[in-house]
Structure 1
Amino acid sequence: MPDSPNRIVWGRATSSNVMKVLWGLAELNLPFERIDAGGAFGRTDTPEYRAMNPTGLVPTLQEGAFSLWESNAILRYLAHADRGASPLWPADPRARANVDRWMDAQQTVLNPPMGQVFRGLVRTPAERRDLTAIAAAIEETAKAWRIVEAALGRHDYIAGPDLTLCDIPWGVHAHRWFRMDYQGLSRPDLPALRAWYDRLCRRPGYQQHVVATPIA
């Protein structure tokens, strides 16, 4: 895919799904422009935005007349279109399927309880927090992270010895898992997960688009 001077990512930097795409672009060394959209920035209910993305969510990738929504689909597109192939998304069918299932599991296994924890601790005012419900959601979230912990006990990254696309969706949420203020609520010790997170923190794209972004 030739470098596009018109590659635009629509979405606010604090969105976890936007972070995925920005970090992926950094790993692929692809230039882009980002335009704030969603949340307090609005824009997502306009006819122009809905023409690109009928869900009204972020992110949306725009390349001239082409637009694409759903963060994991955007990551796959970028990795596949980038000069024909990328090690982030291996060409071997079984290796690629392994990466894909981990990407999907982030959305189906991790997102529901992790979203509840995030909303409870970050988006809910202190006087309205239900710490009992949040503690239960932390336990459910930990079950998802234990699945990743088992994989990381065998190799440095989720799908194998090297970073692939599936580390990106999980990695964005790992930063929140380790850095949110838990109001004294306990979490399990997951040493392999922590070592993986520390490895991610040494990657420039992760530092720029995840670690340096406020948890909000």
Structure 2
Amino acid sequence: MLTIWGRKTSSNVQALMWCVGELGLPYERHDAGHRYGGTDTAEFLAMNPNGTVPVLRDGESEPLWETGAILRYLAGHYGQPPFWPEEGQARAHVDKWAEWAKINVTLGFTVPIFWRVVRTAPADQDPAAIGDAVAKLDPLLGIAEAQLARTAFLAGDALTLADIQFGHVLFRYFDIPIPRPDRPMLRRYYETLTERPAFREHVMVSYEELRVAD
């Protein structure tokens, strides 16, 4: 049994939970972080000294933190090809796109755009800064657009760990009121993800509790 600490409105927790859902793994999740607190307790810091979510414990094993490491653990321990290939070169191909998505797309969207639109009071928002961040993100989405013109999913023609790292930000990207250049392949890909039950359950989650009012 997996035990997971982290609120369902955390985008990192959503990536983890989507992966758990796709792999069909039993789990117990405890809300932690943001309005739920609990990440500054001695007990939590003993599991993750950074005081961040998610944290995962598989049975009685040592707790794991850092979303990318957790996802690779789950994929390696429970995943099957093509989700997580056995052959080294094929696995590196998936991991390459997963790392690209995490380091570039997620970091380029979550704080520079999502936080400025949702987690900043309307009176304090900076439309110019938001527009600049959207413009900086779009060339990265152009890379995905070109890749998705060749393949059904980010790293090939089947869902892989790369899609977990990339696709989990797209619900918020397409949902918040920002200008979005026309990316038909990206839109097609996103609509494909929304047909997956685990994506709908764990990623298409209301973020209203994160919204800051005036």
- TM category (shorter chain) comes to over 0.9
Q: Which residue of structure 2 lines up, in the alignment, with residue 75 of structure 1? A: 71
Q: How far apart in 2 are the matches of 1:125 and 1:213?
A: 18
SS in 2 for 1:107: helix
Q: How far apart in 1 are the matches of 2:89 and 2:41?
A: 41
* Identity percentage of aligned residues: 41
8 A Cα contact 1:79 1:86, kept in partner? no
Q: How far apart in 1 are the matches of 2:52 and 2:158?
A: 31
8 A Cα contact 1:80 1:86, kept in partner? no
8 A Cα contact 1:23 1:205, kept in partner? yes
Q: Which runs of 5+ in 2 are unaligned?
A: none
Q: How far apart in 1 are the matches of 2:151 and 2:62?
A: 37
Q: Which residue of structure 1 lines up, in the alignment, with residue 43 of structure 2? A: 48
Return the letter of the residue paired with 1:33. E
Task: Please list every run of at least 4 consecutive aligned residues from structure 1 whose deviation after the TM superposition is greater than 6 angstroms.
Answer: none
* Cα-Cα RMSD: 1.4
* 2:104 is equivalent to residue 105 of structure 1: no
Q: Which residue of structure 2 lines up, in the alignment, with residue 191 of structure 1? A: 184
SS in 1 for 2:56: strand
Q: So what's the TM-score if we normalise by structure 2? A: 0.92
* 2:53 is equivalent to residue 58 of structure 1: yes
Q: Which runs of 5+ in 1 are unaligned?
A: none
Q: Which residue of structure 1 lines up, in the alignment, with residue 30 of structure 2? A: 35
Q: How far apart in 1 are the matches of 2:108 and 2:61?
A: 37
* 2:197 is equivalent to residue 201 of structure 1: no
Q: Which residue of structure 1 lines up, in the alignment, with residue 207 of structure 2? A: 214
Q: How far apart in 2 are the matches of 1:212 and 1:188?
A: 24
Q: How far apart in 2 are the matches of 1:162 and 1:86?
A: 10
Q: So what's the TM-score if we normalise by structure 1? A: 0.91
Q: Which residue of structure 2 lines up, in the alignment, with residue 25 of structure 1? A: 20
Q: How far apart in 2 are the matches of 1:191 and 1:73?
A: 32
Q: How far apart in 1 are the matches of 2:121 and 2:8?
A: 22
